[in-house]
């Protein structure tokens, strides 16, 4: 369990209130951070806050502003911003329930694990809410305020606990038509659709996140380790390093080859099966 909870408070469903804690469900442990370095000296690059025509400025003299035009800003002092910040709400009230899959994936922002805190009564109430949501196949919606701003949250069962996901507000989502209208119309070929469908069916399997690894992160880690030990990096085979960037000229032919490639083993199995059946038949006769 992580040493520190992101948020502590209460989960309320009507008259039932349960103490809960939130823990981040994601980590950046698998990614590597690279810094900008001054190559001649090996020193890390640092940034100064500079105003044009003024030079470096003191942090105390920096305020926030909203651009209203070119070089025009509405200046807001820290105290003015603090006055409108929301106090952290200690209670997440479940106000609505929706079916699984009803929330557009674009709204999901960040996941957190939710666990109960307190006595057996709290654990029992937590389990009742969890199993009731699971049985109804519903996601609970509510709002929470933390660190000065408020969030819409969606809560659903996750193993023995609950998963809370913060959601974006409607105005934060860009309409897809702005982008998808740029896609040219294409005439669909029935046979190509069938071939593509066959490929999809063959490669359909349950999702297992462990099967997917970041090739870039692993390669970067190996490169860093090699250079740390030897001071140099060995040449990468050009064939391995270069990814296919050419366009498929004949889509139909490519689909047919893909389907044929995936079914190469099937005929051999069928032939073996027929051979053993026929040889078995001859043996009996003899």
pLDDT at 272: 45
pLDDT tens for each residue of 164-178: 999 999 999 999 998
Give the pLDDT confidence score for residue 27 in this predicted structure: 82
- Does residue 241 register a pLDDT over 50? no
Q: What is the 3-state secondary structure (H, E, C) of the chain?
A: CCCCCCEEEEEEECCEEEEEEEEECCCCCCCCCCCCEECCCCEECCCCCEECCCEECCHHHCCEEEEEECCEEEEECHHHHHHHCECCCCEEECCEEEECCCCCHHHEEEEEEEEECCCHHHHHHHHHHHHHHHHHCEEEEEEEEECEEEEEEEEEEECCEEEEEEECCHHHCCCCHHHHCCCCCCCCCHHHHHHHHHHHHHCCCCCCHHHCCCHHHHHHHHHHHHHHHHCCCCCCCHHHHCCCCCCCCCHHHHHHHHHHHHCCHHHHHHHHHHHHHHHHHHHHHC
Has residue 115 got a pLDDT over 80? yes
pLDDT tens digits, 134-187: 999 999 999 988 877 889 999 999 999 999 999 999 999 999 998 999 999 988
pLDDT of residue 8: 92
Band of pLDDT at residue 96, cut at 50, 70 and 90? very high
Q: How far is CA 43 from the centre of its chain?
A: 34
Q: In the prediction, which pLDDT does 286 show? A: 38
Kindly report, residue by residue over 247-278, the tens digit of the pLDDT.
545 777 887 888 887 665 544 444 444 444 44
Name the pairing type of β-strands 91-93 and 7-13: parallel
Contact of 142 with 155, CB cutoff 8 Å: yes
Question: pLDDT tens digits for 32-67?
Answer: 778 888 889 989 998 888 988 898 898 888 888 999
Q: Report residue 177 as tokens.
A: 């038509």
Reply yes or no on whether the pLDDT at 225 is more than 90.
Answer: no
At which residue do the structure tokens 């105390």 appear? 60
Q: What is the mean pLDDT of the chain?
A: 82
* Domain residue spans of the chain: 7-26+85-172
Asked if residues 83 and 1 have their Cβ atoms less than 8 Å apart, the reply is: no
pLDDT of residue 97: 97
| Domain 7-26+85-172 top-level CATH class | mainly beta
* pLDDT surpassing 60 at residue 245: no
8 A C-beta contact, residue 45 and residue 38: yes
Confidence at residue 126, expressed as pLDDT on a 0 to 100 scale = 95
Band (pLDDT 50/70/90 cuts) for residue 237 is low
Beta-bridged to residue 281, according to DSSP, are none
Res 109: pLDDT: 94
């Amino acid at each position: 369990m992580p040493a520190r909870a992101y948020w502590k408070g209460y989960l309320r469903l009507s008259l039932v209130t349960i103490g809960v804690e939130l823990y981040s469900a994601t980590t950046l442990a698998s990614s590597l951070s690279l810094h900008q370095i001054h190559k001649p000296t090996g020193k890390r690059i640092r940034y100064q806050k500079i105003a044009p025509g003024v030079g470096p400025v003191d942090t105390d003299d920096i305020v926030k502003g909203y651009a209203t035009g070119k070089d025009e800003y509405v200046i807001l002092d820290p105290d003015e911003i603090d006055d409108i910040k929301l106090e952290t709400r200690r209670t997440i009230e479940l106000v609505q329930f929706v079916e699984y899959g009803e929330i557009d994936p674009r709204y999901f922002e960040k996941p957190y694990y939710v666990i109960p805190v307190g006595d057996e009564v709290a654990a029992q109430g937590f389990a009742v809410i969890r199993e009731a949501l699971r049985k109804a196949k519903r996601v609970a919606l509510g709002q929470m305020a933390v660190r000065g701003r408020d969030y819409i949250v969606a809560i659903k069962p996750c193993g023995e606990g609950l998963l809370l996901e913060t959601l974006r507000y409607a105005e934060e989502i860009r309409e897809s038509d702005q982008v998808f209208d740029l896609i040219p119309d294409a005439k669909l070929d029935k046979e190509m659709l069938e071939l593509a469908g066959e490929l999809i069916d063959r490669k359909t399997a349950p999702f297992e996140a462990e099967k997917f690894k970041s090739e870039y992160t692993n390669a970067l880690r190996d490169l860093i380790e090699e250079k740390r030990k030897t001071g140099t990096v060995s040449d990468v085979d050009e064939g391995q390093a270069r990814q296919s960037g050419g366009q498929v000229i004949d889509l139909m032919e490519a689909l047919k080859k893909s389907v044929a490639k995936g079914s190469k083993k099937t005929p051999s199995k069928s032939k073996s099966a027929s051979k053993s059946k026929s040889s078995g038949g001859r043996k009996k006769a003899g």
